[in-house]
Amino acid sequence: MIKKTMAVLVGAAMLSTFSVFAEPAKSAKQAKGATEYRQALLTLVKSNVGALGAMNKGVIPFNAETLQTNALRIEQLSLMLEDYFATDTSGFNIETAALDKIWSSQSDFNDKISALTAAAVNLNKVAKAGDESQFKPAIGQVFKSCKGCHDKYKAD
Ligand code: HEC
């Protein structure tokens, strides 16, 4: 009884310590679905950076509230990326810009995800503090983290 409880506890601890392991898609249908979901997630990410880019270029004035809202959303969406990339679709001929090496370089790929999370957390913090001189570098860091991953893992 005690042994069994321990085993369950250890199992649970391992699950929370080690991140998601990639699993190959089992069918073309599953690969296509997984691709659509991850693209939808990244489309949502994109929908939250438009305002950031416009503020960065001075097209619209800085708005600390919008920055906080969007930074929080980007953070939350970034936390879903690992899960949504956990299905390895490289074995199927589907329309995707995701490069196969994502699934052979998982820890590096996950580092790129973490860079986005960290940049979003920082932007939220900076926006809360309200010092406008810090807004641009914090926004820049978010865009840098997109590029950091796209350059390596996304086809043009
Ligand atoms: C950890 C890696 C990674 C990070 C970080 C990342 N992306 Fe991507 N992104 C990808 C990959 C891989 C694809 C290709 C997905 C596919 O086609 O299956 C992609 C695709 C996209 C797409 C196209 C979605 C579609 O409908 O096909 C957009 C838009 C996008 N990313 C925006 C962003 C923005 C904006 C950021 C930063 C705020 C960002 N991404 C950060 C890896 C990343």
Query: Alpha-carbon distance 124 to 52, whole Å?
Result: 12
**Between the CA of residue 91 and those of 20, 26, 66, 102, 152, what are the distances in Å?**
19, 9, 41, 12, 19
pLDDT at position 17 is: 47
44: left (phi over 0), alpha (psi -120 to 50) or beta: alpha
Give the dihedral of Cα atoms 89, 90, 91, 96; nearest 10 deg. Answer: 70
Residue 41 CA to ligand 1 centre (angstroms) = 8
pLDDT for 88-126, tens place per residue?
A: 999 999 999 999 999 999 999 999 999 999 999 999 999
Distance of CA 63 from the midpoint of ligand 1 (Å)? 25
Decide: 41 and 98 in contact? Cβ < 8 Å: no
What is the reported pLDDT for 19?
61
Tell me the CA–centroid distance for residue 1 and ligand 1, in Å.
47
Amino acid 43 reads T
Q: What average pLDDT does this structure show over 117-137?
A: 97
Compute, in angstroms, the gap from residue 85 CA to the centroid of ligand 1. Answer: 11
pLDDT computed for residue 18 by the predictor? 53
Of 130, 18, 28, nearest to 82 (Cα)?
Answer: 18
Which residue is it, tokens 């001189």?
Answer: 133
pLDDT higher than 50, residue 16: no
Q: Is 70 exposed, middle or buried (0-12, 13-18, 19+ CB in 10 A)?
A: buried
Confirm or reject: Cβ of 119 under 6 Å from ligand 1: no
Ligand 1 in reach of 154 Cβ (< 6 A): yes
